[in-house]
A and B are shown apart, each in its own frame.
Chain A
Amino acid sequence: MAVGYLRWIILAPLIGAAINGLLGTRIQKAAGKNAIAAIAIVPVLISFVLALNAFRQLLSLPADHRFLLDSVSRWIHVGHLRVDMAFWVDPLSAVMILVVTGIGGLIHLYSVGYMHEEPSFWRFFAYLNLFMAAMLTLVLGDSLLTLFVGWEGVGLCSYALIGFWYKEWANASAAAKAFLVNRVGDFGFIVGMFALFWGLDQTGQGTLVVREIAQRAHLLDGQLLWGIALPTFITMALFVGATGKSAQIPLYVWLPDAMAGPTPVSALIHAATMVTAGVYMIGRLNFLFSMAPATLHVIATIGVLTAFFAATIGVAQYDIKKVLAYSTVSQLGFMFIAMGVGAYSAGIFHLFTHAFFKACLFLGSGSVIHALHHEQDMRHMGGLRKYMPVTFSTFFVSTLAIAGMPPFAGFFSKDEILWQAFASPHGHWWIWLVGTITAGITAFYMFRQVFMVFFGEYRGAHGGHHDDAHGSHGAHHGHAVHHPHESPGIMTTPLIVLAAGAVLVGFLNVPGGLGGSHRFETWLAPVLEPAHEAPVHEPHGLVKKVEHAAEETLEHAEHDPLEYLLMVISVLVAGGGILLAWLMYVRGKIDPSFFSDAWAGVPYRTIFNKYYVDEIYEAVFVNGALGLSKMLAAFDRVIVDGIVNGVATLTRLVSQADGAFDKYVVDGIVNGVGAVTMWVGARARAVQTGHIYSYLYAIVIGFVVIMFARLL
């Protein structure tokens, strides 16, 4: 159905960004920070309302026709390439825009409180709005190229916001690292895009419009590129893009560093929305990925490895935000497990629930950091539940959700993934096993965090660890430093809403085994076909096979007692993780050093130092590229330019030697060059003695004479 308002979902925040970005300093001076906040928040509200409207409109359509299109204008029509500026909403993008505008709106609100003292308040909100516009372009773009515009756009905003406090060198480095690592992914993405376009063009059907790709994807069957099946090549390249944006092995390294940005940014960009873009992209192109079982296998493997490795790193972190960062990487890994086993809607569902509880966790950590005047080390926290009851309870609820405790949201989504990892035709028991262990580790380190931050006695203030300017600043002004205070309502309200989501949204997709009807999955079914639905488009061998197997699985799923067993196991494992954390950090029955000192502390140190991956990358890739560039620059200067200068010198010497000899030895061209050298040299000397004008007149007059001699 053609509609005309989808563009405003993007334009509204873009206009907000433009106003605050171009006029922000003046507005802030003249009308104060509240005016800036209003300019930023109203557009997001507009987008949210329009997104709701789109959702309502989709609901009113029959399931197979849930599709809204807003064609704005022609964009690039060159050769066979036809890309328009057009935006569309289908059940999948509807979920995404609701998440982005809804949670994004809450985070905007929260930021008003959190960034309250920031002098560049306007700049922050301009970036935040720009991010919203870019993210919504990514989601709504109807072609891969428009999607890519948003894809890189969110990268830019991420760069700007990670480096928001750019005066710290480390922040600037983190920002550059994020952008560069993402660019490696983007490189993969464009390669995949090109291969896809020309693969279709081979059959005279080249396109980058997602709907058309969906109809024509079967044309890629049987095509080869360098001996690789084209769908496999394309999806692998696109997946490289996803590993960059969604922080998977091997490109996850930027995300933990990205915590250098203000905490609301971590919640919005580096937890709830941008980092899920890779998952969304795979969901968007699920029909292509279904054609490439090899790629799916790689995705599932990368996903489970990332989930596991990131979780182990999370165990040893002390920075409250770093723990959450690694848990985000880990949870994204879970989403990729789902995508990799072909359970696309399970992956999107986890994306959806994760957006709530992880945004809540980040904002909660921001509330703590705010209360403690920029203290981020959990060793200097403790006992905060007494001082910050709202922050504590919302954080606690979200932690239960991420730990996969029933009936919180994370339980439903994570369990669905683990079950699919086990039962899907693309799944494998070892993926389930590692996933379940990871779920246990997750429960452990998340509760370790809760216990270190909110339980026990407050270890800050008198501890003398404060190297933080804000802390002492507070003390001077006689604030209650030893009594951290609850954050203001503008910050706690979003926490409460998100925590409510963390409790409730899981019920949207209760599996049949628990008496539900998979409502979320049914909603997405027209878009995410392979799991259970018959393909809408021309079926081919593979899809048929997958579909067949999937149907069988579904049959199983309804009745298989195994599903209950696995569910119980995963809850027990998670409970074990929580128990261990409780024994270690609340009861003190087990000293953490029991683990950290094991095997001479080598495993602990390795984990604590994040497996030295940053150091390895630095040594290999960064220094490798720099070394190569220095080498080539030297080659350019010494060899290439050396030859040029050598030829020039030689020519000059020869031409100076003897005119007659010259004639027989050097050919005519070189002769000319030599003569010119002499001529130029003489003139250049003349120039230096102040005869510019005579030559100038000569040139101009000469030229004029040449030009007009014959015409006049």
Chain B
Amino acid sequence: MPTNVLTWMIFLPLVGAIVVLCLPRNAANLIRGTATFFTIPPLIMAVWLYQHFDRATSDMQFVTKIPWIPSFNIQYFIGVDGISITMVLLTALLSFICIIASFGIEKAMKAYFALFLLLDAAMMGVFCALDFFLFFVFWEVMLLPMYFLIGIWGGPRREYAAIKFFLYTMVGSVLMLVAMLALYFYAEPHTFDLLELASRSGSYSTGFQRIAWIGLFIGFAIKIPAFPFHTWLPDAHVEAPTAISVILAGVLLKMGTYGILRINYPILPAATLDFAFYLLIALGTWNIVYGALCAMAQTDFKKLIAYSSISHMGYVMFGMATMTSEGINGAVLQMFNHGTVTAMLFLLVGVIYDRAHHREINGFGGLAGIMPFYTGWTALAFFAAMGLPGLSAFISEVLVLLGGWRSYPALTIVSASAVVLTAGYMLWTMQRIYLGKANEKYVGLPDINGREIFTLVPLGIIVVVLGVYPRPVLDLINASLVHLNQVVAGKAQVALATAGNMVP
């Protein structure tokens, strides 16, 4: 198992998808059970990975490298380092949780679970791939199931949302494809190997780096989503079924920032330094504040959470751009924390939507008296999203902002003001939905049930534990990020020096 563990994690869900497709269409429990069954081994393997991951090195671990299409020097090359392992863990956990959260799906459920497992496989693949071509294949494969999952099982405007999501991502993919090919042909001998490309980064001219950087960045920025490429997200979230929203916000958004860290940073360090200094940091700040303010104006519960994701992903960009250990560690920790917190939030929106069949914030009131346990869980998730100390997001947000202060005190102050805005929209939502007099329409609504609590418990535990004791994640990521930070800073200087020598 040790060497192939990642391959198993990627392809078991795919096998699961095929198995599910072979099951009889009406055997509902069998389909649910099978789908669940195929997400459990990856979860166990994730725990195993966590235990056996060497925290002292920044090298790739659990590597598999086989030639795939030798004529183009394309390899089946996978492995994880500190940055990707957190995402792999998150994906394994959320996939399992979301399968459970999808038990309520009745429409064409066989197709739903098959597509879901396919999505799971592709997500794993994206985070493990170390060959750009392989990365791209997984990236594209992910798109199709997502399109169908929103477009078929979504809400009333699902087709619009699905096509919007699809087109947006396609635009990004095209740019990414062009940049990928440019990198491939620029490298001599031609290669898609990400580590190989990174090791040659010193030889890329600054102009080339900048163009390639922008191409890749737009592709990734759409996924994050960074302003102004974010408008697909609220629509996709509002229309997507609960579990898909969880995956979308919990995992897919991270692919944007992950891609930047995995590809832009080590391969194009000089351009990274250039752009981090104004583009990335400015977009991060803008995302944080703009997302929070937009969230405040929403009346749809799910849309509000969607905009809060935009705001919270801003912290990731901000932290990455600071180029300090504090900031970049905070950014990756925030990727993980946002994955758990926002997953809880979307699951909780799903709970009330399943019961009341609407999400109008002003259409509830006083649910605390009717559904006390549900309210307790929501309070935990809300305060976690507000970055309350003792809960996980606090540590990542503080690290991100602390890292920002060294080079960007003014922007840090602007970003930090979001602590007020976030508390504003969260507490206001809390009050309108849960506090005050009970809305008579909903008296007697059943409280959160066992299955729903089951999906929340692991996330709740993680949120609390990492809030008190963040070392389990910080220790995983630190070595790789310190290395990355040095590489970017160091190589960028080399590149700039070379460029400088050539200019005069």
Contact = CB atoms under 8 A, between A and B. Distances in A.
Interface of A: 73-81, 145, 148-149, 151-153, 156, 159, 163, 166-169, 172-173, 176, 179-180, 183-184, 186-187, 190-191, 194-195, 197-198, 201, 225-226, 625-626, 628-630, 632-634, 636, 640-641, 643-644, 648, 669, 672-673, 676-677, 680-681, 684, 687, 692-693, 695-697, 699-700, 703-704, 706-707, 710-711
Most chain A CB within a 10 A radius of its CB, from B171, B369, B435: B435
Contacts of B259: none
A692 B152 contact: yes
Contact of B420 (A183, A201, A630, A641): A183
A220 to B, nearest CB: 14
A195 B228 CA distance: 31
Nearest to B420: A183
What's the dominant secondary structure at chain A's contact region? helix
Given A180-B423, A187-B417, 7 more contacts: A75-B470, A78-B399, A79-B324, A684-B151, A684-B163, A706-B137, A711-B76
A79 B389 contact: no
Contacts of B156: none
Contacts of A168: 436
Contacts of B409: 194-195, 198, 225-226
Given A78-B330, A697-B21, A700-B114, A191 B413 contact: yes
11 contacts: A78-B474, A187-B416, A626-B296, A632-B294, A673-B167, A673-B174, A680-B166, A703-B14, A703-B118, A707-B137, A710-B68
Given A81-B326, A625-B421, A644-B231, A632 B297 contact: yes
Contact of B406 (A153, A167, A191, A198): A198
A183 B325 contact: no
B68 A641 contact: no
Contacts of A677: 163, 167
A195 B405 contact: yes
Contact of B152 (A159, A197, A643, A687): A687
A692 B108 contact: yes
B412 A692 contact: no
B163 A184 contact: no
A198 to B, nearest CB: 5
Contacts of A190: 398, 401, 416, 419
A123 to B, nearest CB: 9
B478 A78 contact: yes
Determine the main DSSP class of B at the interface with A.
Answer: helix
A78 B294 contact: no
B492 interface: no
Given A167-B366, A194-B401, A629 B296 contact: yes
A599 B103 CA distance: 72
B383 A156 contact: yes
Given A78-B326, A78-B474, A191 B416 contact: yes
A706 B425 CA distance: 47
Contacts of B324: 79
A684 B144 CA distance: 12
B66 A711 contact: yes
A667 to B, nearest CB: 11
A456 to B, nearest CB: 38
Interface in B419-433: 419-421, 423-425, 427-428, 430-431
Given A80-B325, A711-B66, A194 B166 contact: no
Q: How many B residues are at the interface, by size bracket?
A: 35 or more
A6 B57 CA distance: 36
B297 A633 contact: yes
Given A673-B171, A681-B163, A172 B436 contact: yes
Nearest to A170: B436
B167 A648 contact: yes
A673 B163 CA distance: 11
Interface string B426-451: 01101100111110000000000000
**A179, A195, A672, A700 interface centre (most CB from chain B within 10 Å):** A700
A681 B160 CA distance: 10
B163 A167 contact: no
A186 B297 contact: no
B416 A179 contact: no
A76 B227 CA distance: 31
B159 interface: yes
Given A167-B436, A190-B416, A149 B390 contact: yes
Nearest to A677: B167
Contacts of A145: 398
Contacts of A169: 435-437
A197 B296 CA distance: 32
A708 B469 CA distance: 43
Contacts of A76: 395, 399, 470, 474
A162 to B, nearest CB: 11
B18 to A, nearest CB: 6
Contacts of B329: 78-79
Contacts of A166: 368, 434-436
Contacts of A73: 469
B115 A172 contact: no
A633 B298 contact: yes
B312 to A, nearest CB: 16
A699 B297 contact: no
A692 B111 contact: yes
Contacts of A226: 409
Nearest to B67: A710
A629 B293 contact: yes
A78 B471 CA distance: 10
By CB atoms of chain B within 10 A, which of A81, A634, A676 has the most?
A81
B145 A684 contact: no
A176 B428 contact: yes
Contacts of A194: 401-402, 405, 409, 412, 416
Contacts of A153: 388-390
A57 B298 CA distance: 56
Nearest to A155: B388
A197 B141 contact: no
B297 A629 contact: yes
B148 A687 contact: yes
Contacts of B231: 636, 640-641, 644
A151 B69 CA distance: 58
A13 B343 CA distance: 31
Nearest to A225: B409
B436 A680 contact: no
Given A163-B435, A673-B171, A176 B427 contact: yes
Contacts of A700: 14, 17-18, 21, 114, 118
A197 B167 contact: no
A622 to B, nearest CB: 9
A293 B148 CA distance: 65
Contacts of A80: 325-326
Contacts of A634: 297
A74 B434 CA distance: 38
A183 B69 CA distance: 56
B162 interface: yes
